[in-house]
Amino acid sequence: MSATDRLLYDLTGIERQYDALLRELPGTHIRFALKACPVDEVLHSLAARGSGFDAASPAEIEQALHAGAHPDRIHYGNTVKSDHDIAEAHRLGVRTFATDSVEDVTAIAAHAPRARVFCRLATSGEGALWGLNRKFGCAPDDAVRVLDAARAAGLVPAGLSVHVGSQQMTGEAWQQALDTLAGTLTALAGRGIVIDHVNLGGGLPALGYRDRHGTPLEPPLDKIFTVLREGMERLSALAAAPLDFVLEPGRHLVADHGVIRARVVRLTERAQPDGGRARWLYLSVGKFNGLYEMDQVTHPLVFPGREAEEHVPAVVAGPTCDSDDAYGGGRHTVRVPRSVRSGDPVWILSAGAYATSYTTQGFNGIRPLPCVCTRGGEGRPGRTTLT
């Protein structure tokens, strides 16, 4: 890492993204998923805008409270929690908990008596870059059983939730999830359980990512919003009582408003195992200090002052001694300026999601990137001279 390497957040951009999401899905309650960007200034500006938080541990709850959020706007969204964590969350004032098993319900009843619980339904994860299936959620029948058990244990069976997988690229995934929610809502009504909210989870995509070959991903955001609006209407019409809708965006609010300022380490050309030759471009930032997701997505790269020069295909990789520290697992190339030199600046765009939370402490002696929050895009590509 070079002394000038840093991760820059544009707070104004994040606030605008929050406002835009509320305009697209009016009346919804946004609970930002902290883990996508646990940076105090970012949380503070979202809380000041009225955002709540989806927290996954007592430490995240404390960070959300510290950012200025009222406990009523924080829920414990992790279905995985120890007795101690539940009691701690309750002590901190949180009264709404995600669940997906009878065992967890029993623990919540013991350590957070009379709390509100919402049951997470499983989804296939299809269409997402990171499907969050298997580990979380239950089938509709089990959800009815779990919420029934919650009621019997003195808890409030308050809602249902889904997460269709992170960077979900299809409207169909939400359509399927909404169908499952509708069926479950009806089954619950049959047992006399009337919930007050549906949590549509995270998964909304970032817009700036590219695929392994450098082609923009272009998620169908308008279609996704249409599916969500229609789905919410349908669920409201089905429900026996007014339904609130909660969203837990993570990536969508922050990804495109964080950029990494890095340096070129070196552009090389070497023989490859298949007998051919390939160029490799090593950067000062990679999988372990800000680009954890680089095997799935490629972030656009900007080499200031070299845009008009000849470009050549190169595998782009981070600086460490780990072979996974490369875009697309090191098997794909993108086009980079042929003339780049060691020490040249490079901007890595759409790098705001999951950058700090997935950073290691010192792999190969590489320290976490300093994080700088700015307003109105100061210090970003095109706005200032690079030093």
Ligand X SMILES: *Cc1c(COP(=O)(O)O)cnc(C)c1O
Kindly tell me which residue out of 38, 201, 286, 328 binds ligand X, with binding defined by CB under 6 A: 201
Q: In terms of Cα–Cα distance, which of 353, 355, 349 is closest to 291?
A: 355
Kindly tell me which residue out of 11, 33, 112, 162 binds ligand X, with binding defined by CB under 6 A: 33
Site string for ligand X, 54-73 (x = CB under 6 A): x-------------------
Distances 94 to 64, 127, 163 between C-alpha atoms, Å: 11, 33, 21
From the list 196-204, 273-281, 306-314, 344-352, the region that binds ligand X by CB under 6 A is 196-204
Any contact of residue 204 with ligand X (CB under 6 A)?
A: yes
Going by the DSSP 8-state scheme, the letter that residue 96 receives in this structure is E
Which residue is listed with tokens 């089905």? 238
Beta bridge partners, 247, equal 30
Any contact of residue 77 with ligand X (CB under 6 A)?
A: yes
Any contact of residue 85 with ligand X (CB under 6 A)?
A: no
As a whole number of angstroms, the distance between CA 44 and CA 104 comes to: 31
Max CA separation in the chain (angstroms): 69
Shortest Cβ distance from residue 35 to ligand X (Å)? 6
Shortest Cβ distance from residue 305 to ligand X (Å)? 34
As a whole number of angstroms, the distance between CA 109 and CA 121 comes to: 20
From the list 33-41, 58-66, 139-147, 230-238, the region that binds ligand X by CB under 6 A is 33-41
Site string for ligand X, 92-131 (x = CB under 6 A): ----------------------------------------
* Closest CB to ligand X among residues 265, 291: 291
* Closest CB to ligand X among residues 31, 261: 31
Residues 333-362 that bind ligand X (CB under 6 A): none
Helices 83-91 + 102-111 axis angle, to 10: 40
Kindly tell me which residue out of 202, 219, 286, 381 binds ligand X, with binding defined by CB under 6 A: 202
- DSSP H or E run through 147: helix 140-152
Shortest Cβ distance from residue 17 to ligand X (Å)? 12
Strands (E), the chain: 6-10, 29-33, 52-55, 74-76, 96-99, 116-120, 128-130, 156-161, 166-168, 197-199, 244-247, 258-271, 277-283, 301-302, 311-317, 334-337, 345-348, 371-374
Count of other CB atoms within 10 angstroms of residue 366: 21
Shortest Cβ distance from residue 135 to ligand X (Å)? 10
Q: In this structure, are residues 328 and 295 in contact, taking their beta carbons and an 8 Å threshold?
A: yes
Number of residues in contact with ligand X, rule: CB under 6 A? 16
Any contact of residue 198 with ligand X (CB under 6 A)?
A: no
Kindly tell me which residue out of 157, 171, 203, 381 binds ligand X, with binding defined by CB under 6 A: 203
From the list 4-12, 30-38, 59-67, 327-335, the region that binds ligand X by CB under 6 A is 30-38
Kindly tell me which residue out of 163, 257, 261, 380 binds ligand X, with binding defined by CB under 6 A: 163
- Which residues would be at the binding site for ligand X (CB under 6 A)? 33, 35-36, 54, 77, 163, 166, 201-204, 248-252
